[in-house]
Structure 1
């Protein structure tokens, strides 16, 4: 199987599992949910192991990219930030927002042209830094 194809959906599923387990862990800590000590320890152990998956996610994405480490971080700073699981849901928001914006802008030629010019200018300015 091609890892580039199955890894991203797998990483998103792991992120959702992490979020659910994190919420359950917080609920146990604030006494909203009652659980045994062994279940609490199991949840925390699984949360720690899932962090390894998030680090592996960034490592694989870097490996599959054609950038040096500095270029990878510059062009994928948001991705690197979302390695921290608390920020992972932001990635889903970014995708949804981008899709909505593209749908709206594709119908307006002048706006699409303007947005592309601004994007190119920002990109060139960013690389000068």
Structure 2
């Protein structure tokens, strides 16, 4: 198997999984979604383990690059920044395929309904904080 060929799509899928789990974790934190304590802990542990995949992603990209450490950091500073999971969505937005995937997800009734609930909850929390 050629790792250089299958790794980038795998990393994109892991990033999408991380984003979904992160949104679910936020929804649980704001009581928009109610799940068992064990599932909450599993989601949070999975989020932490996926960070290892993001670090491995940068390590592999460095190994495959033709630059030294300094040149790699200079030419890939944005990529390195996206190792931090909260910045990962910015990497996905750079890629056209991911934008199409997100459009498909938001077109789904369940996902759209969930995002609408999250939006309404955030809106009500914002107004409570302002008042």
TM over 0.5: same fold?
yes
Once residues 90 and 76 of structure 1 are traced to their aligned partners in structure 2, the CA distance between those partners, rounded to angstroms, is 14
TM-score, scaled relative to structure 1: 0.72
The answer for unaligned runs of 5 or more in structure 1 is: 97-129
Once residues 41 and 92 of structure 1 are traced to their aligned partners in structure 2, the CA distance between those partners, rounded to angstroms, is 26
Q: 1:102 aligns to what? A: none
Q: Measure how far apart 1:78 and its partner are.
A: 0.7
Larger-Rg structure: 1
Mapping of residues 72-111 of structure 1, within 5 Å: 72-96=72-96
Mapping of residues 35-50 of structure 1, within 5 Å: 35-50=35-50
Q: Measure how far apart 1:95 and its partner are.
A: 3.4
Q: Which structure is higher in RCO with an 8 Å CA cutoff and minimum separation 6?
A: 2
Q: 2:53 aligns to what? A: 53
Q: How many residues of Structure 1 are paired with residues of Structure 2 in the alignment? A: 96
Q: Measure how far apart 1:16 and its partner are.
A: 0.2
2:12 is equivalent to residue 9 of structure 1:
no
Q: CA RMSD in A?
A: 0.9
Q: 2:114 aligns to what? A: none
Once residues 92 and 50 of structure 2 are traced to their aligned partners in structure 1, the CA distance between those partners, rounded to angstroms, is 18
TM-score, scaled relative to structure 2: 0.71
SS of the aligned residue for 2:94 comes to: helix
Once residues 79 and 43 of structure 2 are traced to their aligned partners in structure 1, the CA distance between those partners, rounded to angstroms, is 25
The answer for unaligned runs of 5 or more in structure 2 is: 97-131
Q: Measure how far apart 1:92 and its partner are.
A: 2.5
Q: 1:107 aligns to what? A: none
Q: 2:66 aligns to what? A: 66
